[in-house]
A and B are shown apart, each in its own frame.
Chain A
Amino acid sequence: MSGAVAVTGIGVVSPSGVGADRHWASVLAGRTAIGRITRFDPEPYPTRLAGEVRGFDERGHVEARILVQTDRWTHLGLAAADMALADAGVDPARLPEYDMAVVTAASSGGTEFGQREIERLWSRGPRHVGAYQSIAWFYAATTGQISIRHGMRGPCAVLCAEQAGGLDALAHARRLLGEDARLALSGGTDASLCPYGLAAQLASGRLSRGDDPARAYLPFDSHAAGHVPGEGGAMFVLEDDAAAEARGAASYATLDGYAATFDPAEGRGRPPGLRRAAELALADAGAEPADIDVVFADAAAVPELDRRESAALCALFGPYGVPVAAPKTMYGRLYAGGAALDVATALLAIRDGLIPPTVGVRRLADDCPLDLVRDRPRPAAVRRVLLLARGEGGFNSALVVSAPRPSRARPAHNGGGHGHEPTDPGRPEAPAA
């Protein structure tokens, strides 16, 4: 079991679409899914835009009994987990119960559920707090519910590192597959778009206050002024690659390299840790910078953070040295769900040989000499992707994913393939690259 770890299933709940295909089609079309907040009246708040997962009817994904016990963040996680399992063609009931692990990232827990219960407590008294606050708000709720739903009795974990946690969770799942797990459901979701969740995010000082969805979230742009918050995320089925091959399962990619670092305290005169995370992840994958076909950037849209990320990328790849993607400009930062969603988007980029666009950016900041893929998808043979994610407070994580052998790959969807024009519907689908 010390071999490669393959991703055999993807589940996506994104502002850009529920389901990987819808999300991907919307992203390739360059459509922004950012809009005025509808879950509550955002008028009193200086930030009024967000990437909401619309068209998600939780009743279609979670049975009524569980719905009332869980926050929206968990609804999104349960739905994404189901989609990932279906996509992988895995029936957990047929696998040994202790061989299945569940690892999720959480950034802020069941925020909306928690606000409702604290409101009851303070407006009506302690006896009005509901029985499910104890299991809905805490950070482990999604992992626990997924484990129960699918009878997965192997090792379970929950890692928190804000946005970076989504990569940490997948790396931890890979770690467990190297021990005694045979399959892992892993990823992350977040849903903090309630009044208190937004107020707390405002305190970070990193939220955009723009009112134009097309120009509110502009990483690496000379007008970068914070990010737009979003909700949603992605879950994945991970398997030992050889075991997946033995059962005839196609693979999106293998998780080949990972590292996490932490920034030094201010004033220590030491360099930030993002570059080192990327270098260590490349080394873990046995890859050189030249092997990387695209970088999915953290894309904070805070000028100093953009400058740091750009400096890390330029140190590794040279100025304009590698295509950089920030599709999150279309749906916002989803925190624990955001890095996971980036991984899903990267795997689809590998499958179809298309680098997704970054939208809204008009003029790169002078200190961000990056080959940012803008406005339209760029056809390319995407064999290896480096993903970067940073978590509030100093967390840096980097993940390298690699295309499977062509015989193991998922067939490309319409419009995919390096050097191919969109295929006509009657043409058989061929593996990308």
Chain B
Amino acid sequence: MSADPSGRVAVTGLGVVAPGGIGVKAFWELLTSGRTATREITLFDATGFRSRIAAECDFDPALEGLSPREIRRLDRVAQFALVCARDAVEDSGLDLGAAAPERIGVSIGSAVGCTTRLEEEYVVLSDAGRDWLVDPAYVVPHTYDYMVPSTIAAEIARSCGAEGPVALVSTGCTAGLDAVGHGLRLLREGAADIVVAGAAEAPLSPITSACFDAIKATSPDNDDPAHASRPFDLNRHGFVLGEGAAVMVLERAEDAHRRDARVYAEITGFAGRSNAFHMTGLKPDGREMAEAIRAAMARAGAGPDDIDYINAHGSGTKQNDRHETAAFKRSLGPRAYEVPVSSIKSMIGHSLGAIGAIEVAASVLALQHQVVPPTANLHTPDPECDLDYVPLIAREARLDTVLSVGSGFGGFQSAMVLSRSGRA
């Protein structure tokens, strides 16, 4: 298969594990209802932490079909990814057993990998932090798999029978978008015919919560968890940590049409830029994100007037929401004031490396259903955030082309353009 740098790539299968319910249906119902899935942390005892709230998944691995060995061996992040990948493949209608294994690729994003199990094992080996020289006699066989995050992608590859290129993409909080973008590249360069692409994160552990506490990035609004994630609201106090995964099956559009597959949407452009400014800080001008958006639109052959909806990063930190608003104005000009913009993090929190793929899934579903999910908890507009953020209530709209963006630690900015199937 020869390379086609502007080839059309279709999303033909979808699997989602998100706070508020497992599966694509529950995910879309939550998003369009405007309800929120943020709550007090139950996964560990968060007493003594600054932020004690999160968007957790009600995930029972046995109920989701994982075997006892998978449950024992795999960190929660890999369990999420595995369930999503199986769902996505089933949803695509592809029989991967009949496909050439060499032509199946995998691209999975994660920012912090198997951090939960890494911490749990450390606690045992160090006797709760007492011994710097940890005791190797207590090490369990899969500890090395937790240290190298690539095992998450490897697990998906084995599950799907993929023997083509397999990647674990780990660009922090843009990893989800970047992993899907990597899948797009693998198809366009002809390295694979089918790519299982997406991202997963399960960061709700003491060390992850503590490290975001330390920089006051997460919301301390512990008394009202359901309303704590407030992107673009004047009274926003930081992001609410989340968890989850989304995985999709990508194919060349012509292959999908040839087999009469249901095509959710096409991915038409992707680009990344970096701010080279600060590992966590953002300048208010949104310059580099705007550049990523321009580059993604150029690759998609789309202009500002073609964009019908922006699925925002919208983390709910003071800096991000201003930065992003400026980036939309800078890249779309006057069109920025006409396009609906929303942040699903208001409902399902910020699941770090997973959220970009989950937001791509939301964008795909928005195109399919012709509905824009709302920004929940947006009651008091911030004068510095003066776009149409679709507050509280989902909105029907004609959507042909959608933009999904991400921004993360390290200064990374990513943008992806998706279109309704059938549009050139």
Q: A residues bordering B, Cβ < 8 Å?
A: 40-41, 44-46, 69, 97-98, 102, 106-109, 111, 114-115, 117-127, 129-131, 133-135, 137-141, 143-145, 147-148, 150-162, 165, 168, 175, 179-180, 192, 195-205, 259-265, 268, 270, 273, 276, 335, 391-395
Contact = CB atoms under 8 A, between A and B. Distances in A.
B170 interface: yes
A45 B231 CA distance: 49
Interface in B147-199: 147-151, 153-155, 157-158, 161-172, 175, 178, 185, 189, 191
B128 interface: yes
Interface in B24-75: 48-50
Contacts of B381: none
A384 B258 CA distance: 41
Taking each of A157, A192, A204, which has the highest tally of chain B beta carbons within 10 Å of its own beta carbon? A157
Contact of A115 (B122, B151, B272): B122
B149 A160 contact: yes
25 contacts: A119-B129, A119-B132, A121-B129, A126-B209, A126-B210, A133-B211, A134-B212, A134-B214, A137-B211, A138-B172, A140-B175, A147-B276, A148-B277, A154-B274, A156-B411, A159-B169, A179-B5, A196-B122, A196-B125, A196-B126, A197-B147, A262-B162, A270-B101, A273-B163, A276-B163
Contact of A122 (B123, B212, B288): B123
A157 B171 contact: yes
B101 A264 contact: yes
Contacts of A44: 133, 135-136
Contacts of B129: 118-124
A203 B213 CA distance: 31
Contacts of A168: 167
Contacts of B157: 262, 394
B272 A155 contact: yes
Nearest to B46: A126
B257 interface: no
Nearest to A201: B144
A122 B128 contact: yes
A263 B165 CA distance: 10
B129 to A, nearest CB: 3
Nearest to B137: A44
A140 B172 contact: yes
A158 B276 contact: no
Question: Which 9 A-B residue pairs are closest in the complex by CB-CB distance?
Answer: A144-B410, A122-B129, A393-B154, A123-B129, A139-B170, A204-B144, A203-B143, A129-B210, A133-B211
B262 interface: no
Contacts of A160: 113, 148-150, 153, 168-170
Contacts of A273: 163
B130 interface: yes
Contacts of B139: 199-200, 202-203
Given A119-B132, A263-B163, A147 B154 contact: no
B189 to A, nearest CB: 7
A236 B275 CA distance: 21
A133 B146 CA distance: 18
B280 interface: yes
Interface in B210-225: 210-215, 217
Contacts of A276: 102, 163
B335 interface: no
B197 to A, nearest CB: 14
A125 B330 CA distance: 44
Contacts of A268: 161
Contact of A392 (B148, B212, B215): B148
Contacts of B111: 138-140
A131 B274 contact: no
A310 B160 CA distance: 28
A111 B147 contact: yes
B327 interface: no
A131 B409 CA distance: 13
Contacts of B273: 98, 153-155
A393 B146 contact: no
Given A202-B139, A268-B161, 10 more contacts: A122-B122, A123-B129, A130-B214, A139-B170, A153-B274, A154-B274, A160-B113, A202-B136, A392-B145, A393-B155
A133 B207 contact: yes
Contacts of B106: 262
B119 interface: yes
Contacts of A199: 125, 134-136, 139, 143
Contact of B150 (A117, A126, A395): A395
A98 B291 contact: yes
Contacts of A108: 147-148
Nearest to A45: B136
A44 B212 CA distance: 34
Given A121-B206, A139-B113, A153-B274, A175 B189 contact: yes
A184 to B, nearest CB: 12
Contacts of A192: 147
Contacts of B113: 109, 139, 160
Q: Which of A106, A111, A144, A197 has the most CB of B within 10 A?
A: A144
A261 B165 contact: yes
Contacts of A117: 207, 210-211
**In the complex, which of the residues B132, B148, B167, B273 has the most CB atoms of chain A within 10 Å of its own CB atom?**
B148
B335 to A, nearest CB: 22
Contact of A156 (B135, B154, B272): B272
B163 A270 contact: yes
Nearest to B126: A119
Interface in B249-282: 271-280
Contact of A260 (B132, B166, B210, B280): B166
Nearest to B170: A139
B171 A143 contact: yes
A21 to B, nearest CB: 30
B112 interface: yes
B309 interface: no
A66 B126 CA distance: 28
Contacts of B369: none
